[in-house]
Structure 1
Amino acid sequence: MNGLLASLVCIYALLLTGTSRAQAPEPLSIVVFGPPSLGAFLPPVIKAQKLDEKNGVAIKFEERTPDAYTAQFNSGEFQLGGSASLLTVGLADTRGVKVTYLFNLFDFWGAVVTSRADVRTLRDLEGKDMAAAKGTTNYVMFDWFARQLGADPAKFSVINTATPGLIGYALADRAAAVQLWEPAYTTLLSKKSDMRTIDLAIADSWKKFTGSRNIPYLGVAAHIDWVEKNQKLVPKLYATYKEAADWVTAHPEEAAKLIAAKGTPDDQKAIAELIRANDRLGMNVQWASDVRKEINSVYAAGKSISFLPAEPAASTIYQMPGK
């Protein structure tokens, strides 16, 4: 009888161990830009709210500069990228790197700011220096919009810096202008409200080019071979980010404290206002396949300025099986 009882106890223990293992979240490593950046916007919320674990994954976010991000994602050192702009995904594909844009997180918005009285339009920057993170596709998209306004970006003297350095250049007035985007733009204006923003006519130019105002821009991408091996994890990853975006929208003040944890109360207030408005932030979590037409328009813009040497494959736009 004692032997039978001992056996039952062992079987029960094994069952508990198996259940525990089955329920353990799947570890994932995702490379992202360091803050301030859109790729670093939702990760602190995901971790603080444990939304990854809730959806059965345990994400480790690894921060990199734009150039390092591109190199390490394209090489396959990281199979998942959370600062994936469409144009970098498209370019990687044309170079033989088989990757796919899983879902969109943010639509495009960018700006050029200046403190110089002699800089009123983009054409005024020709022959002058401008600080920018040239390795990003926000800059590539800016290049396209600048050309629509008759400016020649080849005549800008670009001081290339990583995204965290852009605010410093603007605050110190170390260049005639600075090209940047959210959340750095809002953080900058909270510190130096008299900065002047040059009108890029983004909505009008895009509407003229595509007939639409939607510009899918940055999201989560993966190597296709990883996706083929981990199909069940993709919807869990999407749910994690979607719930984070919904929580941010519903709790802007709390979210701002997580996103700008090292910022001042004024910085956090500005981020909360940015979230409420969402016009410049452009948070828009959607499956890539649901914005296929708009993605192809972004590819067309990239080809028109010779950033993309060829049309990216249809496989770069992820299609959820059965969707």
Structure 2
Amino acid sequence: MSRTKNLLNPLNVGPLTLANRVLMAPMTRSRSAQPGDVPTALNAQYYGQRASAGLLISEGMPISPGAKGYAYTPGIYTEAQQLGWKKVVDEVHDNGGLIAAQLWHVGRISHHSVLPQGQLPLAPSAIRAKAKTFAFDLQGSPAMVDCDTPLALSDDGIAAVVQEFVQAALWAREAGFDLVELQGANGFLLEQFLSVTTNQRTDRYGGSLENRARFVLEVVDAVAAAVGAERVGIRLSPWCPPSVNDMDFSIEAQEITLYLAEALSARGIAYLHLSEWPGVQYPSGFRAQLRELFNGAIFVCGGYQQTSAQDILVQGLADAVAFGKPFIANPDLPQRFVCNAELAQPDGNTFYGGDARGYTDYPALASLS
């Protein structure tokens, strides 16, 4: 794998060659056709506008009706959704880009109003998150509501979720996605199994570090068997703070992340994507250990600017950097980096839900000159 230390140089990831190392981070934007949470031509336009990224990582896609936790998020579990995503992928490819599908199960970060009738969220243990999610209130209006207490997954339930990840990965590849990314970060289901604060099981999925990592590796193994390990990435967020979905992933965070890195490297997956948080400092030496243990590409994401992104590449501690908010208001972000152009600022009022305003109406740099 090429380790050229320049943000604007190509990078080999799995079977792909990325045009640059400026990636678009996965960002929930809550815009889909209803009913059915189907991607639309507007979504295709949005992703197509940003196709100059080395790799676009899609917003999280619920892998099944029971995996959903937020209103209006486009899924990947029906034929209509798959056809909608195919339009998105085709637009990205027509504009010369590459795109990964982020496969998402929210676990306990959910509310019955966005789940099939009679269902409750599922999690490793029946521990309610002291957090809110974007669902529907008692009047049926979109609102931030308290998460419900989840049901603890049975062994059969765990096996069923693994197969949901597999089916979603197959549908994503059939829709043309170049890679699939497993959402194992930010307090959602995979990370809930890793943390002792959310996983209090006493069976083979709980207790020891190895047991808590078992579900994640079972998902990776099953998805890799279905679509090829070289097409699979995973997002992790060690030291995810309690402010993020009531997740305290600090106990054994270093040990379990390095354990996973070595296990994932042995499986030959394409990349490991770290979601970082402002004010959370990684322990000294952690990044170097991660680099030593994982031989695929390492992506980082979380508040990076052009200079800090370049710096971590120069240090050899990451291969590419994903940007979130900068890509919202700067659809041609790599070109702006080339030109050292001033970046436009996004309108936070239009991040979630709505129409083209604050979504596809940010102009490219060329149109401003």
Determine which structure has more spread, i.e. the larger CA radius of gyration: 1
Q: Where on the TM-score scale, by shorter chain, does this alignment land: which range?
A: under 0.3
Higher relative contact order (CA 8 A, sep 6+): 1
TM-score by length of 1: 0.27
